[in-house]
Amino acid sequence: MNVVLDALAFSNIIVLSSIGLTLTYITLKVPNFAHGDLVTIGAYTALAAARLLGITPYAAIPLAFIASGMAALASYYLVYRPLDRRGAGIVTLMIASMSTEVILRASLHIFADVMTTSTKSYWRGFLFREEGGQLTSYIVVSTITAILIIISLYLFLHRTKYGVALRAAVENPSLASAIGIDVDKARAVSWLIAGGLAGVAGVFMPFRTPTDPETGWALLLRMFAASVLGGLDAVFGAVIGGYVIGLSEVLGIYLLSGPPLNLSTAYRPAIPFAILVILLLIAPRGLSGVEWRRLLSRMSRGVVRSG
C-alpha cells in the first residue's frame, strides 16, 4: 500500500511539472530543457522559506509558484522572445534552451554553496521531515494540490474568455492577433503558469527524496515522457501522461526489484525512458496524435476478416 501511495505522490510531481512543459512547448514549439530546473527552484524556495522565514514548506507553495514562474517568465522575455523575433529556427531555440538550463542549474549550485557557507547549514541533499509522524501528509497535500490545480487550470483555459484567448493565441498567433488578442502577453502568461506549476511541484520533491541542484534536471526525462505520452500539444494529455509515467515507474521498479528479477532499483529511469522510446517509435505525436478511429476500424475490419 505504501508503494502505491508513494507512486501517487511521485506522479503528482510529474503531472504538475509536465503540464507546464507541454504549455511552453505549445507556445514556441521548443522543448524547454530548463523545465526541470524550475522544479528545483521551487524546492529551494520552499527550503529558503522554511529556514529563513520559519514557515512550513506547504505555506511556501505560493512563493515557489512566484519564484519559478518569474524564472520562466524571465527566460521567455530575455531568451526566447528576442530569438523568436529574430526569426530563430527550432535548433537555435533548442541551443538556447540548453544554455538556459546550464545557466539555471549552475546558478542553483552557486546559490546552494553560498547559502551553505553563509548560514552554516547544509543546502544540499536536504529533506523536509514531517513532524508528528504524519508520514503521509504530503501525499494527501500533493494529491489535493494537483487535483485543485488541474481543475482550476481547466476552468481557466476553457471557461474564461481570457483562457480561451490564450489557447487561441498559442494555436494560431496570426489569426489571434488579427482578431485583437495580444499574442505576446498570452505567451508570457503561459510561461508564467508553466514555471509556477513546476515550482509547486518542486515544493513536494524534498518530502520524498534528498534534493540538491541536480534533482529537477533528473526529473526532465519523466516530464518529457509524460508530455510526449499525452501528446506534446495537448495540455491535459500531460495529466494522463504524468500519472501513467509516475505510476509505472514506481510500481514497475517495485515489481522488477523483487524476485525473480531482483533488479537494482537504480534502474528506475529506464522505465520512463523505455516508454518514451517505444512511444516515439510507434506514435511520435503522442497518444492524442494516434488516429484512434482509423486504428479501431482497421482492427475491427481485421476481426471481421478473420471471423
Partner 1 sequence: MAELFSFLLGLAAFYSIYQMLALSLNLEYGYGGLPNFGKVMFFAGGAFVTGALLTRLVALSPGAPPDMVWDVSKFKIYNTLLATRGSGYLATNPLLALTLFALMLILGAGVGALLGILASYPAVRLREDYLGVTLIVSGELLRIVARNYEPLVCGTLGVSVPNLFAWAGTYSELIKVGSMVAVSTATVLLINIMVNSPYGRALRAMRDQEAAAASLGKDVVLLKIKTLAVGSAIAGAAGSMYAMYLGAVVADEFTPLKTFIVWLMVVMGGAGNNAGACLGALTYIGIDRALTLFKHLIPLPFDVNYLYYTVMGVALILLLMYRPEGILPERPGRLYATTEISSDSRGGQAAPH
Partner 2 sequence: MLLEVEELTAGYGDIRVIEDVSFSLGSGELLAVLGPNGSGKSTLVKAVMGLATVHSGRILFRGEDVTRLKPHEKARRGMVYVPQMNNVFERLTVRENLIMAGYTIGDELQDRIEEVLELLPPLRRLMGRKAWTLSGGERQMLALAMALVRSPELLILDEPTASLAPPVAEKIIGLIAQIRESEDVGIILVEQNAKLALSISDEALLMVSGKQVYMGDANKLLSRSDLSSLYLGVRS
Question: Rule CB under 8 A: which residues touch partner 1?
Answer: 25, 29-31, 33, 79, 82-83, 86, 88, 90-92, 94-96, 98-103, 105-107, 109-110, 113-114, 117-118, 220-221, 224, 228, 232, 264, 266-267, 269-270, 273, 276-277, 280-281, 284
Which residues are within 8 A (CB) of 125 and not within 5 positions of it... i.e. 6 or more apart? 210, 211, 212
Which among 76, 69, 59, 55 has a CA at the least distance from the CA of 17? 69
Determine the angle formed by the axes of helices 2-28 and 35-48, rounding to 10 degrees.
120
> Residues 266, 18: contact at Cβ < 8 Å?
no
Gap between the Cα atoms of 139 and 85, Å rounded: 43
CA distance 257 to 244: 19
Position 13 contacts partner 2 (CB under 8 A): no
Q: Could you say which of partner 1, partner 2, none residue 109 binds, taking C-beta under 5 to 8 angstroms by partner kind?
A: partner 1
Q: Helices 215-230 and 270-282 sit at what angle, rounded to 10 degrees?
A: 30
Is 89 a residue that touches partner 2 (CB under 8 A)? Answer: no
* Distance of closest approach, residue 218 Cβ to partner 2, in angstroms: 32
Residue 92 interacts with partner 2 (CB under 8 A): yes or no: no
175 binds, among partner 1, partner 2, none (CB under 5 to 8 A by kind): partner 2
For residues 145 and 248, which CB has a smaller minimum distance to partner 1 in the complex? 248
Total site size for partner 2, rule CB under 8 A: 16
Distance of CA 196 to the CA centre of its chain: 10
**Residue 114 interacts with which of partner 1, partner 2, none, CB < 5 to 8 Å by class:** partner 1
Residue 266 touches which member of partner 2, partner 1, none, C-beta under 5-8 Å by kind: partner 1
Burial of 134 (0-12, 13-18, 19+ CB in 10 A): exposed
Q: Are 177 and 183 in contact (CB under 8 A)?
A: yes
Judged by DSSP in three states, 210 sits in: coil
- For partner 1, the closer of residues 106 and 147 by Cβ is 106
Is the Cβ of residue 92 or residue 172 nearer to partner 1 in the bound state? 92
| Residue 290 C-beta-side C-alpha neighbours within 13 Å | 16
Q: Which stretch binds partner 2 (CB under 8 A): 135-143, 159-167, 236-244, 245-253?
A: 159-167
Nearer residue to partner 2 within complex by CB, 137 or 177: 177
Chain centroid to CA 244: how far? 14
Instruction: Please state the separation of Cα 293 from the chain's center in Å.
Output: 30
Q: Which is nearer to partner 1, 3 or 274 (CB)?
A: 274
- Closer to partner 1 by CB, 97 or 142: give it: 97
The piece of 109-117, 161-169, 198-206, 273-281 that touches partner 2 (CB under 8 A) is 161-169
Distance (Å, whole) CA 222 – CA 83: 28
| Residues in contact with partner 2, shown as a per-residue x/- string from 164 to 193 under the rule CB under 8 A | xx-xx--xx-xxxxxxxx------------
Residue placing its CB nearer to partner 1 in the complex, 115 or 141: 115
Strands (E), 233-276: none
Give the binding site for partner 2 (CB under 8 A): 158, 161, 164-165, 167-168, 171-172, 174-181
